[in-house]
Structure 1
Amino acid sequence: MKDITLSAAVRQNLLTLQSTADLMSGVQNKLATGMKVNSALDNPNSFFTASGLNSRASDLSTLLNDMGQSLQTIKAADKGIQTITDLVETAKAKANQALQTQSQYERKTFAQQYNALLEQIEDIAKDSSYKGKNLLAGDGNDLTTIFNEDSTSKLKIEAVDYTDTSLSTGLNLSDLAEGEGSATSFQLEGGKNTFTLTDADGQALNSSSLLASASGISTTNTLTLNEGTTTAVITGSTLAVTAGTTVQDLLDTIESVPGVRAEFDEGTGQVTVYSNEDIALQNDVSTTAQLVSVNATAFATTSDTLIDSGSFDVGDTLTLTDGNGYELGSYEIDEESTVNDLVNYINDFRGVSAEFNTSTGRIAIESETDLALTSDNVDFAAENYTADSDGVTISALSDSGFATDNDINRVIDRLNNGLSTLRSQASEFGTNLSTVEIRQDYTKTMINTLQEGAGLLTLADTNEEGANLLALQTRQQLASTSLSFASQADQTVLSLF
């Protein structure tokens, strides 16, 4: 190429075209990239300044992502606290329900439901995690959110532990004793026999008749109730017959023995003696003289009639009550009441069950709470000629945590403290949430400011560069025309040939 000789005019126009092409290439690059400074060669000061601004914006963008994850962690904990608060309020409602009833069984049921709610509270606390971080799970779950690139501005949120409701540093709510029931049994037995009181003429005596007028009885006699034999006299059952002793006095003497009762027919003079144990009404005229004897046996079938025992009489009212004196229900004995009726009556109530053993004649009772089966008949459940003043009783092995009003009120106080703790913690988390959101918005604005500043230093003005390109295209066309003219001037020498 060095052997080719160009005229000065051609060479000048060619240089102009090359320069214009270089300028057009630069403008086209700016338009294509949108950047007026693409490297340090373009403008070192602007390039490195913009690079610093963009680097900081990038660092803040990374922190912005971390802030977003922190927000989600706090929101998860806040949702957990809201749900736990609802459950604690439900537990408080259960305690108030227990306070409205005196039934030990209902209170025991409410205590079980209360414990189930505490278990749910612990489960909710364990489930309130986000990406492995749980602000309701205590140690090792503190959350630190960094707000600037050198970590000098940050927020630390300390975790609380609600995964164990009994912790004194948490909700301080312990499971309640649910209580453990117990069992007992009582004997159903008895027998009956009759004798008739008539005078010497065979006329029936009535209750006001003098006892000495009865055939075979005189004022020299002493009547006793013996323990099924002719020798063992039951304490308090001796009746010395005097001139003023009446038939009613004899009936009262029989009735005075626990587990023994007498019925008298005024029309026939017949006395029916019912007894839970073997017994004999002895006349001391002879060591072998008995007015009547009763052989008692254990009831053997569920169809046995209750009034065949000394413990029951028509019109008796049986009552079931728990340890709080709460009456479960009552049952009135009639002439047709059977063992099965009594068992069904006991089984009618929740938390109580009864079963009759035909081999032993005993009714076994199980109860989840303290229980008493009583009767207005003083002979009820009497054994061995001894009265049972409190009926058939069961003392539960342990009471529920809602057994007494004081127990319930203590639980309610703890629940109120727990609610106060939850509300305070929810407020704290709410403040933390607002803080992170505010810093997140600020960081977004700061990133935009930095990127905008970097853009001012490096971004091309497309309108200006478009105008430049148009001007360069015009210049290129003019330079091409000028080059053509210069070339034509060199060609004039051809006209000589």
Structure 2
Amino acid sequence: MSDIVLTAAVRQNLLSLQSTADLLATTQNRLSTGKKVNSALDNPTNYFTASSLDARASDINNLLDGIGNGVQILQAANTGITSLQKLIDSAKSVANQALQTAVGYAPKSTVTAGSIAGATAQNLLGNPVNATVTGAAIPGAAATTTKLTALTTPLTATDNLTINGKTIAFANSGGNQITATGATLDLTNATVGDLLNAIDTITGASSTVPPTPSSLGGTKLTLSTGTAQDLVIGGNAGTLTNLGLVAGTTVRGTTLPAGQTLTITPTVPGNPSTSITFGTGVGQVSTLNGLNAALAANSLQASIDSAGKITLTTTSDAASSTIGTIGGSAAGGGQPFAGLVAPAPVADPTVQGTRSALIAQYNNIINQITTTAADASYNGVNLLGGDTLKLVFNETGKSTLSITGVNFNPAGLGLSALTQGTDFIDNNATNKVLTALNNAGSTLRTQAAALGSNLSIVEIRQNFSKNLINVLQTGSTNLTIADTNQEAANSQALSTRQSIAVSALSLANQSQQSVLQLLRSG
């Protein structure tokens, strides 16, 4: 419109009015959008900085869904572990029932040793006891006062008798010479009683050392061994015949001499062998308590009866096992443990039936462990089934957390189904199951602690991301938000300014209107 000529005043007022209109439009735009920076033209620095902050906040917000899923996956795994722990506790209850059930074998594997003379619970070695041997009738031996020369077959100076290797000789004079190392009897006055006294002096048997010394019963000699050693009879064959005796040894009551050893191979695979030395020295065994302490590691226990017989039997824990091979010098010829071979235990059908029913209950629980572990998944991820969970916490993918899953099926927990006739058959077998269950429970608790730690980390990062998004959005808003109070005041001021500018423009045009009025009046 270059053909239109405006005065300087009008043009100035017009420009002022246009500027005010532009400012008013800008103010109204800010009021309507709530932002003071709506495009890069408004403030390039703030606009692009805010856009960057908003973009990062959006990226992190998109990751929150994945983090939330991760929380639920961990919660599902934790729920699974809680249920598995309850199943383990149920399995323990079944195993404890088996322990409380009667031993499934009657009788258990048992052996009984020969009598140990004088043995008691406080003295397994025993004490030597007197034994006797009675000969054949001696014609003419009417009483202990009967002279040896008055027997139907009288003794002569050529006769001799040995007792425990000590010689009893006969002479026709010199009187009786009786000592512990041997004797000579004077046949001029020696009697049957003198002969018995000579024998007892050598053996140590006497009326003051019970039982009673050697004696004459009817016409038969009864000789005592004493307690010092066994009775060994020897000498001239004719002499022995005349006295109704036979050469040989009469053994005192069997004892368990110090230094004798007893060995027993493992009763249960994995048990240590038993190796015992009887005696009162350091490390030796002389009492029932000491014997049981030495036998315990091999799942054996001992008892002793009034006859001095030691009985070995398996403990209830090893009721299904057979006592190992018995050896050592105490099992040698003539010794109390000689020739002992333990029989196998005899199963009790009723009790074993009860234990078999418990096996069925246990196996049902094992099956539930399998299905529970398989069901502890969320959105296709199962940390109890060996899956791995990877969570990303920032928009660059550099801040991550990988949680490796575990296999918590029965095999992964070290458990398995039980077998009839093999498991729960005695306390040892049952305790093995309980040990496995305790280990499984410990494994679950350890994994629960690990899951709890990871869940805490994920929740912390989840809250951090939410707060960071808020910080980013707040920062973006601070760069672009408009002050509505200020913009409202600006709008009001600009409206007023616009009204004034219109009035000023009107005044600026009045000079031209005056010219128009002159033209009209002319």
For the residues of structure 1 that align with 2:82 and 2:99, how far apart are their CA atoms? 26
Residue number among 95, 110, 117 corresponding to 2:358 in the alignment: 110
Residue of structure 1 in register with 2:461 after alignment: 439
How far residue 493 of structure 1 moved from its aligned partner, in angstroms, is 2.2
How far residue 463 of structure 1 moved from its aligned partner, in angstroms, is 1.4
For the residues of structure 2 that align with 1:465 and 1:106, how far apart are their CA atoms? 89
How far residue 10 of structure 1 moved from its aligned partner, in angstroms, is 2.5
Residues 108 and 400 of structure 1 are in contact (CA less than 8 Å); yes or no, is this contact kept in structure 2? Answer: no
Residue of structure 1 in register with 2:188 after alignment: none
Residue of structure 2 in register with 1:158 after alignment: 404
| Aligned-partner residue type, residue 452 of structure 1 | T
Residue of structure 2 in register with 1:171 after alignment: 413
For the residues of structure 1 that align with 2:2 and 2:370, how far apart are their CA atoms? 92
For the residues of structure 2 that align with 1:464 and 1:41, how far apart are their CA atoms? 21
Say how many residue pairs are matched: 271
CA distance 1:400–1:106, change in 2 (3 Å): farther
| Aligned-partner residue type, residue 415 of structure 1 | L
Give CA-to-partner distance per residue, 1:351-380, whole Å, 9 cap, x none: xxxxxxxxxxxxxxxxxxxxxxxxxxxxxx
Equivalent runs, 1:18-167 vs 2, <5 Å: 18-102=18-102, 103-138=351-386, 141-162=387-408, 164-166=409-411
For the residues of structure 2 that align with 1:480 and 1:171, how far apart are their CA atoms? 90
Instruction: Return 5+ residue gaps in structure 2 as ranges.
Output: 103-350
| Aligned-partner residue type, residue 51 of structure 1 | S
Give CA-to-partner distance per residue, 1:234-260, whole Å, 9 cap, x none: xxxxxxxxxxxxxxxxxxxxxxxxxxx
**SS at 1:156 equivalent:** strand
Give CA-to-partner distance per residue, 1:272-291, whole Å, 9 cap, x none: xxxxxxxxxxxxxxxxxxxx
Give CA-to-partner distance per residue, 1:179-233, whole Å, 9 cap, x none: 3xxxxxxxxxxxxxxxxxxxxxxxxxxxxxxxxxxxxxxxxxxxxxxxxxxxxxx
For the residues of structure 1 that align with 2:353 and 2:32, how far apart are their CA atoms? 84
| Aligned-partner residue type, residue 376 of structure 2 | S
Residue of structure 2 in register with 1:407 after alignment: 429
**SS at 2:417 equivalent:** coil
Equivalent runs, 1:317-336 vs 2, <5 Å: none
How far residue 38 of structure 1 moved from its aligned partner, in angstroms, is 1.3
Give CA-to-partner distance per residue, 1:282-340, whole Å, 9 cap, x none: xxxxxxxxxxxxxxxxxxxxxxxxxxxxxxxxxxxxxxxxxxxxxxxxxxxxxxxxxxx
Length-normalised TM-score, structure 1: 0.53
**SS at 1:105 equivalent:** helix
How far residue 400 of structure 1 moved from its aligned partner, in angstroms, is 5.7
For the residues of structure 1 that align with 2:423 and 2:389, how far apart are their CA atoms? 38
Residue number among 470, 494, 497 corresponding to 1:472 in the alignment: 494
For the residues of structure 1 that align with 2:93 and 2:65, how far apart are their CA atoms? 43
Residues 176 and 401 of structure 1 are in contact (CA less than 8 Å); yes or no, is this contact kept in structure 2? Answer: yes
Residue of structure 2 in register with 1:188 after alignment: none
For the residues of structure 2 that align with 1:414 and 1:175, how far apart are their CA atoms? 12
Would you identify which runs of 4 or more consecutive aligned residues in structure 1 move more than 4 Å? none
Moved more, 458-467 or 75-84: 458-467
**SS at 1:176 equivalent:** coil
Residue number among 427, 435, 441 corresponding to 2:449 in the alignment: 427
For the residues of structure 2 that align with 1:124 and 1:484, how far apart are their CA atoms? 89
How far residue 51 of structure 1 moved from its aligned partner, in angstroms, is 1.7
For the residues of structure 1 that align with 2:59 and 2:469, how far apart are their CA atoms? 9
For the residues of structure 2 that align with 1:108 and 1:470, how far apart are their CA atoms? 95
Structure number with larger C-alpha Rg: 2
CA distance 1:13–1:128, change in 2 (3 Å): same
